[in-house]
A and B are shown apart, each in its own frame.
Chain A
Amino acid sequence: MAANGTSVSIQDLSLNFGAVSVLQTLNLDVAEGEFIVLLGPSGCGKSTLLNCIAGLLDISKGRIFIKGKNVTWEEPKDRGIGMVFQSYALYPQMTVEKNLSFGLRVAGVPKDDIAKRIARAAEILQIEPLLQRKPAALSGGQRQRVAIGRALVRDVDVFLFDEPLSNLDAKLRSELRVEIKLLHRKLQNTMIYVTHDQIEAMTLADRIAVMKGGVIQQLDAPQTIYNRPVNRFVAGFLGSPAMNFIEGQLEGGTPPMFRTGSVSIPLDRYAFDGAGNKGGACVFGIRPEHIAFGEAANAMPFATDAAVEIVEPMGSDTLVWTKLGGHNFSFRVEAEKTLRNGDPIRIGFDPARASLFDTQSGNRM
């Protein structure tokens, strides 16, 4: 990531549809060449935000800067953006070549210049053999490549992706994900990418903005978001299989203890956030892959006995469900381990890798 200046800057942006507030005083700065992923469940406003940046939606309040220029009132074409849509949005009556050149022809770019740019884009995306075909004669992956090409030929500063891989099957999705990553490395453009797929977000992003209800919950590097989620929503949204959440009480003292049912977890190794240990009702969260099993469990600061309830083999590894203090609790073991329902097991983990959330506010403690 080349952090030389701000590429896109969104300042106090609000958007209301009538009485419904979709985005609320949202601020976001995207560095030059950065790959930002807007991640969130459907209806969280991530696509809306992207459309605002593109200029396809008129905003209610705030300002948008692209490359230091205030583009709040500019038309989409004057913002220096290229956009890739979920449904590809290729013009069905035009060949691939005409699709790519449409924007340039509208702008009145000279013919030989158009040809040059198309040749370059086609080469980068490896769609040269497809140039004379109509979109109907292309596969989903090829269509999305053409759609990316349409943004590419326009020589824009910022690429906007609106769930570009959601319409593809799983295999193609992972292929194109890698291609987009390679494309970003090659072009070094700023890219803003909307998705609800956490794997896409984790693999592609320099920084992820997790959104909910029109508000950015957390904006950080993927690893930080994964390991230190700021609230319970972010913690639950990222990670598959999902983080284990256990409701209980936090007790002060040395060491501070988390109690639920008959289980007490010492928290002397847990790094409290800002306000520190306030005590009271809280939720203890730990990811299934941070739990040790069998021999390794005894080496952990916290270990306990449990019994296998259900085993879910996933091929690469196996998810085991058990109970901890009366709560459902899952953890990951290697695929080779053969466990049967009812087997007694020993599990343990390091509370330093856990996350504590206030039950009331859901914020990290």
Chain B
Amino acid sequence: MADHAVSAAMPQSVARADASGPSGPKPRHMFSRRNIFLYGTLIVVALYYLLPLYVMVVTSLKGMPEIRLGNIFSPPLEITFEPWVKAWSQACTGLNCDGLSRGFWNSVRITVPSVVLSIAIASVNGYALANWRFKGADTFFVILIVGAFIPYQVMIYPIVIILREIGLYGSLTGLVIVHSIFGMPILTLLFRNYFTSMPEELFRAARVDGAGFWGIYLRIMLPMSLPIFVVAVILQVTGIWNDFLFGVVYTRPDTYPMTVQLNNIVNSVQGVKEYNVNMAATILTGLVPLIVYFISGKLFVRGIAAGAVKG
């Protein structure tokens, strides 16, 4: 009916017979001006960021005589893994000459408990703030957020004294506690906002079903919050692993984290500058956050996708 009316109203129904006009999807050309600009820019930027990494990898695989030739962009003539071995197990920092391996294990022993502890506490904090509006919750939250804006440097010395008084100064435990506390404001904010965005009715339904504080947290909220936990892990692992300031202040030489040790290797003023060892040591130190990004990045995307279809 409608069709008839339309074609009757038009003097010549737009020539159906004419098959030459545009029809179907608009064709796109691979080498259009837009594509050249877009991919050109992307390639240039990618090269700009990858070049330093290339130089580092190439240099770390060269022997010292080759480095002295000064061709930093040329690939190694003779590939050697000697610098990597040296960086890992022989490079000297101060009195110890067992390479970065010591710092690596120290960093692991600092990062793992700090990440677990801070995320465990902050997620419960965020959950309580979002769902159990206890008395003074807002005040507590404001104090916590203000804490996030106080510069670390202000608190370094008071914390040194506190740690000394409770006998944890210089120990890994002390550093773990410091990291956990400093991660608290931002992580709590992260979790609170995430839990607030979850449907309130879900929480109410769980209460009607008889689940309590921990029941709802462990059985309802936790399984739904994988994405935010992945974000928190990325944030904390990279933050704590890359930390230098707290590491150098709150530990002793034999408990130095990897970053501090790397600094001591690279900045040592005695003897020959072993560029290849320095490069290898730097890559080794940066490897952990890099791996975390690669693994959790994938999980992260999957987590978000899983969260998007929730009922």
Contact = CB atoms under 8 A, between A and B. Distances in A.
Contacts of A92: 224, 310-311
Interface residues of A, number: 30
A86 B201 contact: yes
Contacts of B202: 89, 91
A85 B201 contact: yes
A107 B224 CA distance: 22
B224 A76 contact: no
B204 A83 contact: yes
A76 B215 CA distance: 15
A88 interface: yes
B interface majority secondary structure: helix
B310 A150 contact: no
B309 interface: yes
A93 B223 contact: yes
B210 A107 contact: yes
Nearest to A93: B223
**From A102, A150, A162, residue with most partner B Cβ within 10 Å:** A102
B199 interface: yes
A54 interface: yes
Contacts of A82: 208
Interface stretch (A135-143, A220-228, A231-239, A323-331): A135-143
B36 to A, nearest CB: 42
A134 B206 CA distance: 17
A77 B208 contact: yes
A202 interface: no
Given A135-B311, A136-B309, A143-B311, A106 B205 contact: no
A56 interface: yes
Interface string B274-311: 00000000000000000000000000000000000111
B24 to A, nearest CB: 33
Nearest to B209: A103
A136 B310 contact: yes
A76 B311 contact: no
B220 interface: yes
B211 interface: yes
Interface string B195-238: 00001011011111111000100011001100000000000000
Interface string A137-159: 01000010000001000100000
Contacts of B206: 91, 102
Nearest to B223: A93
Nearest to B226: A93
B204 A85 contact: yes
Contact of A56 (B207, B211, B220): B207
A326 B134 CA distance: 58
Contacts of B224: 91-93
A85 B205 contact: yes
Nearest to B308: A136
Contacts of A88: 311
A87 to B, nearest CB: 5
A91 B207 contact: no
**From B199, B202, B206, B311, residue with most partner A Cβ within 10 Å:** B311
Contacts of A54: 204, 208
A54 to B, nearest CB: 6
Contact of A106 (B201, B209, B311): B209
B12 to A, nearest CB: 35
**From B204, B209, B215, B224, residue with most partner A Cβ within 10 Å:** B209
Contacts of B219: 102
Contacts of B207: 56, 75-77
Contacts of B208: 54, 56, 76-77, 81-83, 103
A102 B224 CA distance: 15
Given A77-B208, A87-B201, A103-B208, 16 more contacts: A54-B204, A56-B208, A75-B210, A76-B210, A77-B209, A81-B208, A83-B204, A85-B204, A86-B201, A91-B220, A92-B311, A106-B209, A143-B311, A150-B205, A154-B209, A162-B201
What 9 A-B pairs come out closest when comparing CB atoms? A77-B210, A103-B209, A135-B311, A89-B201, A89-B205, A92-B310, A93-B223, A85-B201, A106-B210
Interface of B: 199, 201-202, 204-211, 215, 219-220, 223-224, 309-311
